[in-house]
């Protein structure tokens, strides 16, 4: 029989520390073949080296001791499968952690730049009574950090739309902020209560669609059927979703998108700021890009001017010029409704 090794000699041969060997003994992972009953000295058989080395490698892999014990109890092929299983778990967990790390890196670096103006904004707002309505109940506003359109309806519609935009203007002065989404949420709550107080239950109301600019981010507030369009790299996209009964019918497949503009109930809103009830505004954050051109408009524009024509007008000219031409096109088409256009360019 080959000579037994002391714990020191076995530690050197297995590249495990004596401390680790004592722990593995206690855990039943690697028991010495002999423990001196008098002084408690542990002795190992040279044949135990293979298992000791396997334990050392698995530790280097980061495998927990309980799982190492399982691997050590298995025969070669099943032990290999168990290690492959373990490694799949590690990779899945690493992927999840990497995603969390990416989120935190992004979140914290945004905070650093959130308070710095990332863009120079050139914007213009224009609102017009149109050719048919007796008064203009729309409100349009363009500031350095706020673009807003509100389309009032009912007897106090003009007051409602102006109160809603006024509430957002009081938030604009606080920008830029670190927590833009929280600020946008506050803003819409303020606008809602301003309109509720003003109307005190009377049958009037307003839409409210606005962009608040903070750092590189744009906070979107949207209630009703006014719209935001984005012209980026020559492509025009509508970034809001109309809160109308007809749009819900399109979403549900009851009518087609082509049938919507001619539908008799096309003006019926499913969401608005009114004298009663809690609206469910749409809030979102978007990243601005230098070169972006935004259009915020009331239905008085898109109700009579098609998207291709809107794109063509937005393709060139300064914001004030584009807004003027869009309003003129709505009036050329009969001007059946009040029309509001806010056009804004983001430059680096």
Residues lying near Mg ion in the complex (CB under 5 A) are found at: 151, 298-300, 337
Q: What are phi and psi of 55, to 5 degrees?
A: -60, -45
Please tell me what DSSP assigns to residue 3: P
Query: What is the Cα–Cα distance from 52 to 39, expressed in whole angstroms?
Result: 23
- Where is 159: in which H helix or E strand? helix 157-172
- If the CB atoms of residues 48 and 298 are measured against Mg ion, the closer one turns out to be 298
E-state strands within 145-260 = 146-153, 205-206, 208-214, 217-223, 227-232, 235-238
- If the CB atoms of residues 214 and 274 are measured against Mg ion, the closer one turns out to be 274
Residue 225 Cβ vs Mg ion, minimum distance, rounded to whole Å: 8
Report the half-sphere exposure of 22 (CA within 13 A, side-chain side): 6
Residue 138 Cβ vs Mg ion, minimum distance, rounded to whole Å: 7
Query: What is the Cα–Cα distance from 293 to 236, expressed in whole angstroms?
Result: 9
Residue 300 Cβ vs Mg ion, minimum distance, rounded to whole Å: 5
Q: Which token pair is 237? A: 């996209």
Residue 180 Cβ vs Mg ion, minimum distance, rounded to whole Å: 28
Does the N-terminal peptide bond of residue 307 adopt cis geometry, omega within 30 degrees of 0?
no
Residue 322 Cβ vs Mg ion, minimum distance, rounded to whole Å: 20
Residue 207 Cβ vs Mg ion, minimum distance, rounded to whole Å: 8
- If the CB atoms of residues 118 and 273 are measured against Mg ion, the closer one turns out to be 273
Comparing CA positions, the residue from 7, 11, 15, 3 lying closest to residue 46 is 3
- If the CB atoms of residues 159 and 299 are measured against Mg ion, the closer one turns out to be 299
- If the CB atoms of residues 149 and 322 are measured against Mg ion, the closer one turns out to be 149
- If the CB atoms of residues 14 and 137 are measured against Mg ion, the closer one turns out to be 137
Which of helix, strand or coil describes residue 266? coil
């Amino acid at each position: 029989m080959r000579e037994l090794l002391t714990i020191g000699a076995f530690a050197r041969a297995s590249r495990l520390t004596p401390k680790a060997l004592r722990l593995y003994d206690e855990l039943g992972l690697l028991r010495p073949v002999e423990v001196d009953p008098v002084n408690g000295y542990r002795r190992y058989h040279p044949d135990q080296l293979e298992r000791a080395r396997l334990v050392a490698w698995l530790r280097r892999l980061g495998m927990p001791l309980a799982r190492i014990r399982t691997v050590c109890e298995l025969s070669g092929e099943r032990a290999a499968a168990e290690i492959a299983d373990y490694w799949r778990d590690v990779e899945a967990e690493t992927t999840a952690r990497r995603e969390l790390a990416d989120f935190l890196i992004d979140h914290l670096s945004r905070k650093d730049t959130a308070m710095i103006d990332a863009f120079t904004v050139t914007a213009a707002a224009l609102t017009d009574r149109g050719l048919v309505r007796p008064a203009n109940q729309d409100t349009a506003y363009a500031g350095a950090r706020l673009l807003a359109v509100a389309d009032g309806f009912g007897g106090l519609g003009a007051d409602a739309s102006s109160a809603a935009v006024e509430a957002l203007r009081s938030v604009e002065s606080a920008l830029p902020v670190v927590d833009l989404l929280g600020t946008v949420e506050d803003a819409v709550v303020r606008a809602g209560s301003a309109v509720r107080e003003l109307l005190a239950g009377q049958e009037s109301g307003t839409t409210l669609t606005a962009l608040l600019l903070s750092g590189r981010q744009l906070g979107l507030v949207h209630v009703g059927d006014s719209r935001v369009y984005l012209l980026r790299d020559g492509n025009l996209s509508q970034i809001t979703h109309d809160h109308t009964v007809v749009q819900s019918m399109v979403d549900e497949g009851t009518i087609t998108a082509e049938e919507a503009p001619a539908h008799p109930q096309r003006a019926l809103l499913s969401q608005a700021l009114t004298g009663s009830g809690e609206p469910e505004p749409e809030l979102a954050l978007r990243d601005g890009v230098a070169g972006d051109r935004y259009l915020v408009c009331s239905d008085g524009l898109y109700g009579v001017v098609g998207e291709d024509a809107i794109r063509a007008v937005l393709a060139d000219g300064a914001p004030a010029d584009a807004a003027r031409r869009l309003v003129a096109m709505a009036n050329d088409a009969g001007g059946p409704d009040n029309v509001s256009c806010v056009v804004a360019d983001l430059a680096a």
